[in-house]
Amino acid sequence: MIRLTWRQFRTAAAVAAGALLAVAVLAAVTGPDLARAYAATLDACARAGDCASATAAFARTDSALAGAFGALVTFAPALVGAFWGAPLIAREFEAGTFPLVWTQSVTRTRWLLVKLAVVGLASALVAGLLSLAVTWWSRPLDRAAASVYATFGERDVAPIGYALFAFALGVAAGMLVRRTVPAMAVTLFAFVTARVCTTYGLRPRLFAPEHRVLALNPESTGLGSEFSPSIMLNSWFNGSKSSALDPATPVMPDAWIYSTRVVDARGHELTDTVLDAACPNIGAGGGGGAPAVPGHVPAPDSAREAMRACVSKLGATYHELVTYQPASRYWTFQWAELAVYAGAAIVLGAACVWWVRRRA
Amino acid sequence: MTNDTVLAANGLGKRYGRRWALSDCTLSVPAGRIVGLVGPNGAGKTTLLRLAVGLLAPTTGTVSVLGGRPGGNPYQLGRVGFVAQDTPAYPHLSVADHLRMGAWLNGSWDRGLAEHRIAQLGLDPRQRAGKLSGGQRAQLALTLAVAKRPELLVLDEPVASLDPLARREFMSAIAGIAAEHGVSVVLSSHLVADLERVCDFVVVLVASRVRLAGAVEDLLAAAGGRSLEDLVIDHMNPDNHGTEARR
């Protein structure tokens, strides 16, 4: 049965191996240059005495290739689910070949278990090797960016879990839908939904976050607000956590910062009412005291002075509360994510086995 | 249940949702025969045969094949060869791949028999199954079913989509196999003419009920000069409840 599975799968396996080889060659060719450039940047900035902005700038270099590699690791599991998982059983139904293979001297339970094991193992292997290559290649950029949680799903072991899950999802969808193309569509939709829900809904709740209390910094606190799809999804899943005032994000390398809120000693959040009462005039002349961002029109000096005075005044009763996951938990999160997705894959696989037996 | 029975169904029924594809079917098929299962479309022939090879599980009643539950374990699976309707094959696999598959999946695989049959048919082993004609694909499916050396060969409308010449060749291949290997055969069709040449036992199934069952020789002797086709069609008629068979 293993030989038949391999015979039916070898073309797909060859395509995947070719794609992996191309990625590996590209990474091997460009990787050492990137590492040398990072070493040179560190060397230069150490002599100049300012490494923060130099590494931040370095983290943004080579963004096209970095983005492509990241997207590849993100979407490879979806492709595995749609092109390996969904057709695995659906094609047998569609082509009417299941009566042929189910009446050979191999029980259909064994038939399915072997198929799940062989192609599932290949899925994990492809995702793992791809992630390994991209993680290795991105090391200089990741060190410079110092935000490991930002590239969480594109590095290390988490993609293996995604690939296993996507594959099992595809098989289950193929069994229920019994047609290849609709099963592929169902797989993609369900996989993306699951990824978004776990990234924004489940992952932040896996482990209780830590807290750190900082004094309000009048130089970097303002009314500023950011906007991105990721922030929107985050507030949709976890509720908006912004206070009336927005302190600048503290420098905590590789930490995952959930929120920076302005609270008093008893933990009550600064409200608009309190803010208006304490500083009636702020916000009149524009944004606030946050450091100038490229492309933004800096607030007038008078407005910034008013904000500074206001924040100093509030600093007597209010402080900044940072809710975060420390960098040291990164691998705990990685293994937890792998366990959650691999566990879901096993449940789906077991459901497929139960289903195929029930028909006997 | 005796050793002379290859297939026995008792009150056998299969329901899909609310629709009964087969209900309360009771029949017994003798061993050592080429049995033709005839009946109009929708009589439940395909369902009955799929239950008999273990592709389906019964909703009610029991079915036993060669004295065992169909398809439950590799041993039982190996004792029954099956050619499904439209004689499916993997379009991207070659003829040789199919034979390899047969060898991989069946402990009792007779490689010499399989290769001999393919050579006899003049099939190119490197040819992809998707490129074969309907008749060639049917012969490939039959080769797979025969080379596992079953005790019972079950064929579900194997010639339905074949041209007359391919039909004739396929039916005589079955007759040859039955004679050569002493294997029992159960073969369904909705055309009596397909079966007339090779079958020596006929079962007429109409709406899950056996209307007529008997050795062709005996039936013809009792029919007084009428053809097998006339006899069968007589019993398919809904107004006639098989009284003639009992007479």
pLDDT, tens digit, 9 for 90 and up, residues B57-98: 999 999 999 999 998 899 999 999 999 998 999 999 999 999
As a whole number, the mean pLDDT across chain B is: 90
Query: What is the Cα–Cα distance from B15 to B149, expressed in whole angstroms?
Result: 32
Q: What is the mean pLDDT of residues B209-231?
A: 88
Cβ–Cβ under 8 Å, residues B177 and B146: yes
The owner of tokens 């047969």 is: B102
Beta strand pairing call for A221-222 and A246-247: antiparallel
Alpha-carbon distance values, B208 to B10, B39, B43 (Å):
12, 9, 6
Set of chain A residues whose Cβ sits within 8 Å of the Cβ of B100:
3, 7
Cβ–Cβ under 8 Å, residues A309 and A303: no
Query: What is the Cα–Cα distance from A254 to A210, expressed in whole angstroms?
Result: 14
At residue B183, the 3 state secondary structure works out as coil
Question: What does the block give as tokens for A223?
Answer: 């009314």
- The whole-number pLDDT of residue B3 equals 62
> Is the pLDDT confidence value at B24 over 60?
yes
User: Residue A212 — φ and ψ, nearest 5°?
Assistant: -140, 135
The owner of tokens 């994000």 is: A249
Under the banding of pLDDT at 50, 70 and 90, the label for residue B240 is: low
Set of chain A residues whose Cβ sits within 8 Å of the Cβ of B92:
11
> Is the pLDDT confidence value at B245 over 60?
no
Query: Which residues, at least 6 apart from A126, have a Cβ–Cβ distance to it below 8 Å?
Result: A16, A20, A76, A80, A163
Alpha-carbon distance values, A187 to A158, A178, A180, A275, A352 (Å):
19, 13, 10, 49, 15
What is the sign, positive or negative, of the torsion defined by CA atoms of A327, A331, A336, A337?
positive
**Chain B stretch 80-109, residues whose beta carbon is closer than 8 A to a beta carbon of chain A:** 80-82, 84-86, 88-93, 97, 100-102, 104-108
Cβ contact (<8 Å) for B57 and A359? yes
- The whole-number pLDDT of residue B193 equals 84
Domains of chain B: 5-90+151-239 (3.40.50.300)
Cβ contact (<8 Å) for A8 and B81? no
> Least CB-CB distance to B107: which of A95, A98, A105?
A105
Residue B82's H or E segment, with its range, is strand B80-83
- The whole-number pLDDT of residue A289 equals 45
> Least CB-CB distance to A99: which of B55, B75, B97?
B55
* Segment B87-122, tens digit of pLDDT: 999 999 999 999 999 999 999 999 999 999 999 999
CA distance B82 to chain A (A): 6
At residue A59, the 3 state secondary structure works out as helix
Q: Mark the ranges of chain A whose per-residue pLDDT is less than 70.
A: 223-227, 240-244, 281-299, 359-360
Q: To the nearest 5 percent, what fractions of chain B are helix, strand and coil?
A: 40, 25, 35
- The whole-number pLDDT of residue B101 equals 96
Q: What is the mean pLDDT of residues B185-212?
A: 89
Q: What is the mean pLDDT of residues B10-38?
A: 92
* Segment A180-234, tens digit of pLDDT: 999 999 999 999 999 999 999 999 999 999 999 888 887 777 766 566 777 778 8
CA distance A96 to chain B (A): 6
User: Residue A69 — φ and ψ, nearest 5°?
Assistant: -60, -45
Cβ contact (<8 Å) for B106 and A104? yes
- The whole-number pLDDT of residue A297 equals 58
> Least CB-CB distance to B78: which of A105, A359, A360?
A105
Cβ–Cβ under 8 Å, residues A226 and A296: no
DSSP conformational letter for B150? -
Question: What does the block give as tokens for B129?
Answer: 């199954």
